[in-house]
Structure 1
Amino acid sequence: MIKDQFNLIHISEVMNELDVSRSTIDRWRKTKQLPSMKIGKEIYFDKNEVIRWYRQFGQVRQAAPILNANQTLTIGYTTVSTHMWSPLIIKEFGLLEEELRRINPKNRIEVKWHKAKDGMELVKGMIAGTIHLATFGDYALSVSHTISRLLPDFRPILLAAGGKSAEGNGFGMVVPMSLNLKNISELATLPIATTFRTNAEYRLKKMLESYHMTELNIIHRSIEESMESLHQGKLSASIMWEPFLSLAHHQRVGKSIFDKELGLGFMAGVVADERWALAHEDLVVAYLKAHLLANRLMREQPNKAAKFFSLETGFPEEVIHRSISQIRWDAALYQSDLTRLSYFDSTRQADIAYNIAYLRIAAQELRLPTLPVHPIAGAWQQDHYY
């Protein structure tokens, strides 16, 4: 036979040998130049070329166990900030399950959703291997990168952006409507509430340090407690973020000041362990396709999204609508996004690890404009969203 004469192997044999799906093989042929040839309607590979290619591109796949049919894919999420709400849309509308059925209709992979109290709980789950993909904020992402320097087996990698806000949006210092402060130095006389070991506390301290104010009265409270204290007139200032900023404005319990001074806006990100992602390309791309579709829904059908979020979180629809309108729902990574992440790393030892390849494939399969290989330079494009 021709295949034996020329040392060829059929595509089905490659799938079995490498334990991957047909869609993964097709993707490798397109994006990673896996050599192949078509004889009639059948696709074959040169055995030696497959071995050579696999040693160069695919050997890392063996570093993590393969997630087979009838196993569980665990997605981590948190509802503490509007910027991290895209998984709620994916979950509610079954966007991930739909993609999984499309790539492998015969094998059933159960999707488990893990709701965490905050981003650091998700980071711990990823370290333990109990969470495969997660969406959390820029501070937790930076911390996970720092932890990876101490734990070589943990390699968090940024796959896509979640919700993001420009400088002056996403975070604010909320004070009573009657309180008028003209200068940051006037904060020296006030107790300021913030949540412990979070984006809010870090941003507050960085702002105060930049103004050489290190002796302030900072108290730790949950954001819900701060909202209640502001409402009762028992609190002078609190650091807040969306949707609580929009809620404070809606209820007129306070106004936000010094927004720009708190610095750099805010961004959530979709994260996985690098070796797990390499071992499960199909699942990563399926999730990112669902993520892109969720972003599109929030941009194009904000009323539908607001109604669902209101039922899920208990916030009034008008508050949710205002909140999601303040956020850019764009999965593309910009160089400015990565610069924002380095803001939390005082050592500047290394850049945050990222991989755009999976998002590029997801965008291509959804017939979106081709993403560049590297993070996009310059300002966010106002007519181009992913």
Structure 2
Amino acid sequence: MTPRSLLRAVRGVAVAVGCLALVCSAHADESYPEQIRIGIQKGDGLVALRASGKLEQAFAAHHVKVSWHEFVYGAPLVEAINAGDVDVGTVGSTPPIMAQAGAAPAVVYVAYAPKMSRSYAIVVPKDSPVRDLRDLKGKKIAFAKGSQGHLFVLKAMQDAHMDPSSAQFTYLSYADARSAFERGFVDAWAVPDPRYADAELSTGARTILTIGNLSVPQYGFYISTRSFAEKYPAALRLVFDELARQASESLAHPDETARFLSSSTGVPPQVWNRAITRLEWGVSYPIPADVIKAQQDAADLAYDDKVIPRRVDVSKAVLQIK
């Protein structure tokens, strides 16, 4: 090989290596996974983010595929995250407590939603003689076992100095609870929006207590697995930052939001119109000490009332993504 041909060969290799490096850098950012799988529930802010398509646009720059997975309530979502089928999702206070107690030990808290105020309520039929929680002694209260409604009812009874055994807990999915409520098979229902708004509009359900009236604040949380959160904190920050922007925009334009949520979820726009005024959409991180303290109160209550088999230290399941 002549010196000139050797030089051309070396240059060719250099160009090939350079091109390969560019391709690799364009398609393999180790800060991001190839795909992020997001769990949603009907009333959380992630529904609006999915409908907007903005998260897909944000992740396109990092060559990350986004997939959405819908769950009826929190407990199955926790199970899916623990099993590695979903990477991040949002739930109420109860499911991550149960996860830490043994059902799904890989699950960690990574962010939190604003304090719950009016989006979750205990309702009774419009013609019910029940006026407050104490009137439910000996009566049936429906909620999904392991849901936010479970601890909502327990905390409400603690605040009212009621023994939990003084009422009959009826563990039902949202669909079954709705049917039981309409047929008079249960006397009360702990229900979140938009199902809460739907019950008001379709059955005239009357509110006897909203979650913001509890003595200790209740929060929703964003959860992931420890391994995913430790490996891909940048991906989670991108999800939460886009969600925060979308939540602010959605709540600022309730009529428009109701229309596109109706088209994407099948829930009538008038139901969303009522629910949106009460929804505590948004996300913040890292998780502050007062929020962890409030969640610890919920965890202690869950243990005291035998919802979980052992005490848990909530702080040990918190992974701060700064």
Which of residues 35, 40, 46 is equivalent to 1:87? 46
The answer as to 2:313 corresponding to 1:349 is yes
TM-score for the superposition, normalised by structure 1: 0.63
The aligned counterpart of 1:158 is 109
Query: Which sections of structure 1, spanning at least 5 residues, go unmatched?
Result: 1-12, 25-64, 358-386
The aligned counterpart of 1:216 is 167
Distance 2:195 2:217 in 1: 15
Preserved contact between residue 139 and residue 199 of structure 1 (Cα < 8 Å): yes
The answer as to 2:222 corresponding to 1:270 is yes
Distance 1:20 1:121 in 2: 37
The aligned counterpart of 1:29 is none
CA gap of 1:276–1:335, structure 2 versus 1, over 3 A, is same
- The Cα shift of 1:326 comes to 0.8
Distance 1:163 1:206 in 2: 19
Distance 2:280 2:173 in 1: 26
Q: Percent identity?
A: 15
- The Cα shift of 1:256 comes to 1.0
The aligned counterpart of 2:77 is 122
Distance 2:206 2:77 in 1: 32
Which of residues 123, 141, 147 is equivalent to 2:96? 141
- The Cα shift of 1:252 comes to 4.5
Distance 1:222 1:124 in 2: 16
Matched to 2:220, the amino acid is A
Which of residues 129, 148, 151 is equivalent to 1:202? 151
Preserved contact between residue 259 and residue 269 of structure 2 (Cα < 8 Å): yes
- The Cα shift of 1:111 comes to 1.8
The aligned counterpart of 1:178 is 127
- The Cα shift of 1:112 comes to 1.9
What does the per-residue CA deviation read over 1:205-227, in whole Å, with 9 as the maximum and x for residues that have no partner?
34335412514222233333333
Which of residues 97, 102, 111 is equivalent to 2:66? 111
CA gap of 1:236–1:72, structure 2 versus 1, over 3 A, is same
The aligned counterpart of 2:305 is none
Query: Which sections of structure 2, spanning at least 5 residues, go unmatched?
Result: 1-17, 301-310
- The Cα shift of 1:164 comes to 4.2
- For the aligned residues, what is the CA RMSD? 3.2
How many residues were matched structurally?
Answer: 284
Preserved contact between residue 74 and residue 114 of structure 1 (Cα < 8 Å): yes
- The Cα shift of 1:253 comes to 2.6
CA gap of 1:234–1:122, structure 2 versus 1, over 3 A, is closer
What does the per-residue CA deviation read over 1:227-271, in whole Å, with 9 as the maximum and x for residues that have no partner?
334434454222222122222222343201133666645432222
Which of residues 283, 294, 315 is equivalent to 1:340? 294
Preserved contact between residue 161 and residue 270 of structure 1 (Cα < 8 Å): yes
Matched to 2:207, the amino acid is S
CA gap of 1:286–1:312, structure 2 versus 1, over 3 A, is same
What does the per-residue CA deviation read over 1:316-368, in whole Å, with 9 as the maximum and x for residues that have no partner?
222212212112333225544333322331235342514151xxxxxxxxxxx
CA gap of 1:353–1:127, structure 2 versus 1, over 3 A, is same
The aligned counterpart of 2:281 is 329
CA gap of 1:234–1:101, structure 2 versus 1, over 3 A, is closer
The answer as to 2:98 corresponding to 1:98 is no
The aligned counterpart of 2:252 is 300
Matched to 1:170, the amino acid is S
CA gap of 1:159–1:304, structure 2 versus 1, over 3 A, is farther
CA gap of 1:116–1:222, structure 2 versus 1, over 3 A, is closer
- Runs of 4+ aligned residues of structure 1 deviating over 6 Å after TM superposition are 19-22
Bigger relative contact order, structure 1 or 2 (CA pairs below 8 A, ≥6 apart): 2
